Chains A and B, each alone.
Chain A
Amino acid sequence: MGRYVIRRLIQAIPVLLGATLLIFVIVFALPGDPIAALFGDKRPDPAVAEVLREQYHLNDPLLLQYWYYISGVLFRGDFGVNFADVPVSQLMAGKFQVTLNLAVTALVMEAVIGVGLGLFAALRRGKASDTMILAATLLLISVPTLVTGFVLQLVLGVKLKQWTGADIFPVAGVFAGWRSYLLPGFVLAGLGVAYLTRLTRTSLVETLRADFIRTATAKGLSRRRVIGRHGLRNALIPMVTYLGADLGNLMGGAVITETIFNLPGIGNQLFQSVYLREQPVVVGIVTVLVLIYILANLVVDMLYAVLDPRIRYE
């Protein structure tokens, strides 16, 4: 196992370099001049612009620029600075905290609601409640986050506050502590809840048809133990791995949700930096996101081996 982890981490290096190079090139290829953007609406003095261009190595070949950047990141942990001269690493640290809070909130909601509904539906397969749950998940999958986000913000945030006078679900910012994350967390979790419900249902239904479930029954075990121990332990494998992989998705996929709810997270920052052409910020955020994806996948792969003894890594 240890050797496998090391091998996987080594494999992550070219992936990380490739991904950052790609994003570096794409951001470079964006139309417009970063120096011009730096000056905003004013026309820069050509001499000053030239000095800045030289200072930021913008006259060097693209690959050399990439080398300056990546060597800074790798050897000095230096992600560069944004237009306001704030170090990107410092900028990201605070934003990542917000995004992590949001992702974990969403993940917990996914796990509790998705697994709960899935188990309920699986044990009542073919009955009306099962059909209703399936229909609800289909609805959740079909409606884009953009719609659920704004609708819930309006109904549960704004209108509910007007009716009751109590600010149960704050609709913007992170000023209300953990409660600020409830509504955006639910919006972000929506798709995952739907998928996990269906995955849980299918997985358990399939497992309960297996021969070893019949054996467990023949051993004289209670139905509760047959389903709870023998069934669930096997059905858990795809569920846990889905949740693990989804943490990466939730971290990176929160751009729309964070923007709707005005949460100062990494997605929101990414959106603004792309808009402002803050090249170092965009590349920095994407680099860290790629790293999170790689680590999340590694954890999932290791979870496989823990959950299913038939899988061995050497």
Chain B
Amino acid sequence: MKRTAPEVLPAEGGLGDEPLLAVDDLHVEFHTRAGVVRAVNGVSYTVNPGETLAVLGESGSGKSVTAQAIMGILDMPPAVIPQGEIRFKGTDLLKLSDDARTQVRGQRIAMVFQDALSALNPVFTVGWQISEMFRVHRGMSKSDAMKKAVELMDKVRIPAAKQRVHDYPHQFSGGMRQRIMIAMSIALDPEVLIADEPTTALDVTVQAQIMDLLAELQRESQMGMILITHDLGVVADVADKIAVMYAGRIVENAPVHDIYRAPAHPYTKGLLESIPRVDLKGQELYAIKGLPPNLLDLPTGCAFHPRCPYRQDNCVTSAPPLYEISGTRSSACHYWREVLDGEQQ
């Protein structure tokens, strides 16, 4: 494995004022036969060491596409990034050569995928797949790399790791498979870990175990973590801050507790109200009316206006910027004050 010139790679060590990872005004488009799908329209967020950012949003909100753009695993074409920067320790990843990008991928920024059964290669043993990281990137011998794989499987608490390292992905349960996925992603101590709906394919009890494991690994290594999810329940315990996405934009940024106490965007408010609650048992569950917008033909003004109970005339014509509410909070709603006060007009 040849190494590229070190000067193009983000330096290890001190950061200064620069966040660990900063996505800045990112746009991603897919050029399809049906037209241009604007999947991400000016997303900005930052992650610092030891911090967990939860990116929340429904299917098609652009949260996974943003993550894939960070990893550099979008199929380009059809994907195009016409605008924006992804700065990792101050270096814009989008300007790096393919070789330099490959050096970052997996080693400095790693990713855990949603469905571990399809994300792991069915014809290689899990030990082979984990140890591949050490063989390819660290030049280790087969047996040394296999020992490291066993250590990692122990670390993510897979019972009898020494024997099971020779098993194939299909011989594990869903939760164990996701642990293997996690072991593989943290193999080379990445500085940023992106977890794309890591618990969606799992049972509820197993979900909690996997989230605990991720949180624990993060505390130990001080990784920055981007947790992509549509599950508000998963977020509350592990996230430090939340970015809510809708139609390829961030509609609200907030520290995790603020958002649960008082959302500042009608969409976030709708999401929170649609969580089943024990004290409201028997009542009809709240649902946000309407359907997510067609990314081929976004609504004018605020993309959420057709579904918004706070809609005024200017919502149809002018797209709201991200209004700063406080040093740590922002909302892309002209009427965030009314939403925050809970006064529906």
Contact = CB atoms under 8 A, between A and B. Distances in A.
A222 B106 contact: no
Interface string B85-110: 00000000000000000111111001
B120 A225 contact: no
A220 B170 contact: no
A233 interface: yes
B3 to A, nearest CB: 12
B276 interface: no
B1 interface: yes
B113 A214 contact: yes
Contacts of B119: 211-212, 214-215
A210 B123 CA distance: 13
A211 B115 contact: yes
Nearest to A214: B73
A234 B136 contact: no
A218 B103 CA distance: 11
Contacts of A230: 121, 124
Contacts of A216: 121
A233 B105 contact: no
A309 B120 contact: no
B121 A220 contact: no
B136 A215 contact: no
A307 interface: yes
Contact of B120 (A212, A233, A307): A212
Contact of B105 (A217, A237, A307, A308): A217
B184 interface: yes
Contacts of A237: 123
A218 B122 contact: no
Contact of A220 (B103, B113, B115, B124): B103
- How many A residues are at the interface, by size bracket? 20 to 34
A3 interface: no
- Looking at chain B's contact residues, is the secondary structure mostly helix, strand, loop, or mixed? mixed
Interface in B134-177: 136-137, 168, 170
A221 interface: yes
A164 to B, nearest CB: 47
B120 A215 contact: yes
A310 interface: yes
Contacts of A218: 71, 73, 105-106, 110-111, 113
A184 to B, nearest CB: 37
Contacts of A7: none
- How many B residues are at the interface, by size bracket? 20 to 34
B41 to A, nearest CB: 24
A233 B73 contact: no
B187 to A, nearest CB: 9
Contacts of B170: 309-310
B133 interface: yes
B31 to A, nearest CB: 14
Nearest to B101: A220
Interface string B180-197: 010010000000000000
Contact of B123 (A217, A222, A225, A307): A307
Contacts of B110: 218
B105 A310 contact: no
A139 B230 CA distance: 51
Interface string B126-137: 000000110011
A219 B133 contact: yes
A308 B123 contact: yes
B136 A225 contact: yes
A143 to B, nearest CB: 35
Interface string A18-58: 00000000000000000000000000000000000000000
A222 B73 contact: no
A303 to B, nearest CB: 13
Given A225-B136, A233-B123, A308-B123, A212 B107 contact: no
A220 B104 CA distance: 7
Contact of B168 (A212, A215, A309): A309
A309 B168 CA distance: 7
Interface in A204-232: 210-212, 214-222, 225, 230
B344 interface: no
A216 B110 CA distance: 11
Interface string B66-77: 000001010000
B33 to A, nearest CB: 13
B118 interface: yes
Given A214-B113, A310-B170, A220 B105 contact: yes
A218 B133 CA distance: 11
Contacts of B102: 220-222
Given A211-B113, A218-B71, 10 more contacts: A211-B115, A212-B121, A215-B119, A217-B73, A220-B102, A220-B106, A221-B102, A221-B132, A230-B121, A308-B123
Q: Give the 10 A-B residue pairs with the shortest CB-CB distance, closest first.
A: A220-B106, A211-B118, A220-B105, A219-B106, A212-B121, A309-B168, A215-B119, A218-B111, A211-B119, A217-B73
Interface of B: 1, 71, 73, 102-107, 110-111, 113, 115, 118-125, 132-133, 136-137, 168, 170, 181, 184
14 contacts: A210-B118, A211-B115, A212-B118, A215-B113, A215-B119, A215-B121, A217-B105, A218-B73, A218-B106, A219-B184, A220-B137, A221-B102, A234-B122, A310-B170
